[in-house]
Structure 1
Amino acid sequence: MENYPGYVRKPFYYETDKMGIIHHSNYIRWFEEARVDALTFMDYPFEKIEAAGIMIPVLGVSCNYKEMIRFGDEVLIRPTVTKYTGTRLDFDYHVYNGEKIVTTGTSQHCFMSSETNRLVQLRKTHPELHHLFLDYYETTKETN
């Protein structure tokens, strides 16, 4: 699988706070945008996952702010899979402003059936999606 190059984003003015920096709550949204963009890059967009009856809820999220990002900056968000079990999927995020890492974060997810609201084992229920996430995990593991 080809390496995902990351998600490039220019902050919007409305995302700033009174001090002119990006408000801390926006980083969590950016992590989600990067995850969704990575799925599109892998030719398995989120709409296709939902059409297959799969939900990927967020179980937990964290964010560590190392330096400020301001309106006008352009950032690169690189999500990498740190754990994949077939029922769970965990990400690390590195947000770059130029060459410098300015923010890091994590998120934890599981796979659920949208019909039953029960945990699913992708290996058994959706093997194509299982192999996609397994390949992505192996690819991102090699680049870390």
Structure 2
Amino acid sequence: MGRKIGVEDYFVSTREILLYYADTDMMGVIYHANYLKFFELGRTGFIEDLGYKYVDMEESGYYAPVYDVQVTYKKPLRYGDQAFVKTWVELNDGIKTIYGYSVINGNEEVCAEGKTTHIIVKKDNFRPTAFKRAFPEWYRKYEEVKKK
């Protein structure tokens, strides 16, 4: 699923998005908030493609909540369209990780672009902790594959 693309020097994971009728709004297009679910699908796939699992982070006593989200809608998706989410790491500074996303249709047209910023917090008290301290190997892997 995930693959290096072109001559770029970063790893991009690709996941197919299944669009359901229930995902549409009154205008017949995919409801805007569903793109956050698509980003989560992409982020989870990205993590899995690198050999990790988010659930392992939770079982180790940590969460990685969304701190910030940004989405720009460029072209509507409709029920019946083919769609994919491409995901990569934009920034990984040891404290926060910024994932980049591109939602494309079956014609490879960009329908939405966005970013989510995540921090690592301890499950028991939600106090922030450094990603590179809590998960040094995972952090180093992100450093290897992030967008340069």
TM-score bracket for the superposition, by shorter chain length:
0.7 to 0.9
Number of aligned residue pairs: 139
Alignment RMSD (CA, Å)? 1.8
Structure 1 stretches of at least 4 aligned residues deviating more than 6 Å after TM superposition? none
Give TM-score, length-normalised by structure 1: 0.87
Give the CA deviation at 1:115: 2.9
Which protein is richer in helix relative to its size?
1
Unaligned runs of 5+ in 2: 4-10
* Aligned pair partner of 2:88 in 61, 76, 80: 80
Which blocks of at least 5 consecutive residues in structure 1 are unaligned?
none
Do the aligned residues in 1 keep the contact of 2:119 with 2:131 (CA within 8 Å)?
no
Note if contact 1:64-1:104 (Cα within 8 Å) is conserved in structure 2: yes
Q: Per-residue displacement from partner, 1:58-90 (whole Å, max 9, x unpaired)?
A: 111111111110001111111121111111001
| Matching residue of 2:23 | 15
Go from structure 1 to structure 2 and tell me whether the alpha carbon gap of 1:12 and 1:122 turns closer, same or farther (over 3 Å shift).
same
C-alpha distance in 2 between matches for 1:91 and 1:80: 6
Q: What is the match of residue 36 of structure 1? A: 44
Q: How does 1:33-72 map to 2 (within 5 A)?
A: 33-72=41-80
Q: Give the Å deviation of 1:127.
A: 1.4
The alignment-based identity, stated in percent, is 25
TM-score by length of 2: 0.85
Q: Which has the higher strand share?
A: 2
